Amino acid sequence: MDDEIKLDEEFILPRDLSAMAKTFFVQTEKPLRDNVFFIKKGSTVTGVKVIAAGEKIREVQRLIEKFPLPNGTLTKAQDWYKCRGTAIITNGIEEKVKEIHWYQCENIGKVEFKTKERGEEDADKIQG
């Protein structure tokens, strides 16, 4: 266990990959925004990439207001990232491999997981 970093009760990152890891392990089921599917417990989210950061995130002000730090102070726009990765999702009956998106902030963690269907536009993507 010395080669792992425990971020919270739900995710473990390998120590050598840092906070913006390319993969992460899911310890507990993580519900998706549709509340029907969830990220499968014991699975690994792979291919993690940051697709927007700070003010480039369309909903950053909403995130700042909705997710204050534990002491009540607000986070800053530059602390937020919009990320994507590939995960096994399930509804308890069927399993699918899907691209998922979420927001994350240091000291807050990963929030608001959703699936991204092919063909949907993503206004938050960084041009590059």
Per residue in 76-90, pLDDT (tens digit) is: 999 999 999 999 999
> Average pLDDT in the 67-72 region?
93
The three-class DSSP label of residue 85 is strand
Q: What is the pLDDT of residue 117?
A: 66
> What is the distance between the alpha carbons of residues 33 and 46, in angstroms, rounded to a whole number?
19
Q: What is the pLDDT of residue 26?
A: 78
Domain ranges for the chain: 4-50+82-115
pTM of the predicted protein model: 0.73
Q: What is the pLDDT of residue 61?
A: 97
| pLDDT for residue 122 is more than 90 | no
> What is the distance between the alpha carbons of residues 118 and 95, in angstroms, rounded to a whole number?
18
Per residue in 22-62, pLDDT (tens digit) is: 777 777 778 888 788 999 988 889 999 999 999 999 999 99
Q: What is the pLDDT of residue 33?
A: 81
- Residue (of 52, 44, 53) closest to 25 by Cα position: 44
Q: What percent of the chain has pLDDT over 70?
A: 74
Q: What is the pLDDT of residue 19?
A: 46
Q: What is the pLDDT of residue 20?
A: 53
